[in-house]
Chains A and B, each alone.
Chain A
């Protein structure tokens, strides 16, 4: 009977945070259609596996992870189709350049670093929550996050280095 409750919980969570899951998916593909497919597939999987959600408190973060895994699988399946810059959609938008920048930055990270950066900085999840659902120690998450930021720093303009580094240190000490 407990399984049914979890299913309901996951369902509610999906509906309430749909936009969040979409953004996560989008941050992998930068393609509307693909992002929707990922969310769809991820939602299907989340409901199907809702029994394996151990801690109902972390339902949201748990779903985030499923979406990310789904996105990675998706990219692997269509490797080359969505990853190369040449195949960016033709329709020029105002913020296309901005999009590209975020995309380039994230592509510097490996799957795990990317997961942590998106959850921590973009979705503003707590380090302890991230650690819990990823099955890592908080310190491990911190050090991976630090390593990711180091990578991004190298990619960024020198002028921004200072502020990012400082922010990471603050985060590290505060949590």
Chain B
């Protein structure tokens, strides 16, 4: 056996094989990238199949979108259209950006002043959406121009999370990838009875920061105790400064289908990156 081992070790390794291997790796990475992008879009396609259809159609055909959106739904007050698209499909850079806009509909069922209020609310929301997506696209364009040999992709998409008699919640999904990816969400919730954008103090009163922060900590501890594969930055003695202390005053949240408040954190905010975006349902 030693003799064969010696012969084996004597095998001469040609360096040009290394280059060929690198080429093969690059080819494989390219085709994975393409595959991954499709997967992300599919994953971001919305919580329910209905939303996926609503979201895909507006981008394939404007007329189909219009037709879809005219179907009356109970409590149908807001509709979401894609106002702007930005697509790049190059070897190294890919962008799939669909900027949504929320529009209140005056169906006659809703009092005039509520419609007027809703109009102001959606203007502010649309402005915010526009701003964050513009920043992302701008950054992407700059990278593309500056680093010819780099890689990057961005995806902007949206999903209606709740649309019932009282609540309308929209999720804006922002994905940015270059080597490794970073996904963040922003949520906008409108109270249909008032036409105003919901804020956390509506649900938990003036002391909402403390109430929610404590509830989040308690849930982090409980989840970690129940499932040891989960990690949140809490009671983490190695790096105490990572520990979650308190939510922000303008902490991101939405109202889910059960009418409950879901507080949202982006990747890395309160947990290691592999945990992704995390949510906590806070009982009132």
Contact = CB atoms under 8 A, between A and B. Distances in A.
Interface of A: 1-5, 7-8, 11, 14-15, 18-19, 21-23, 26-27, 32, 35-36, 39-41, 43-48, 50, 95, 98-99, 101-102, 105-106, 118, 121-122, 149, 152, 160, 163-164, 167
Contacts of B177: 4
Given A23-B11, A40-B24, A43-B24, A7 B1 contact: no
Contacts of A102: 4, 7-8
Given A36-B17, A122-B5, 13 more contacts: A1-B274, A2-B274, A4-B180, A40-B23, A44-B24, A47-B25, A47-B28, A99-B7, A106-B4, A121-B1, A149-B1, A160-B3, A163-B2
B22 to A, nearest CB: 8
A7 B181 CA distance: 13
B222 interface: no
A7 B32 contact: yes
A4 B1 contact: no
Interface string B11-22: 101101110111
B31 interface: yes
* A interface majority secondary structure: helix
15 contacts: A19-B13, A26-B11, A32-B14, A39-B20, A39-B21, A40-B17, A40-B20, A40-B24, A43-B28, A47-B24, A47-B28, A106-B4, A122-B8, A163-B2, A167-B1
Interface in B128-160: none
A5 B179 CA distance: 8
B25 A18 contact: no
B26 to A, nearest CB: 9
Given A7-B32, A102-B8, A1 B16 contact: no
A26 B27 CA distance: 23
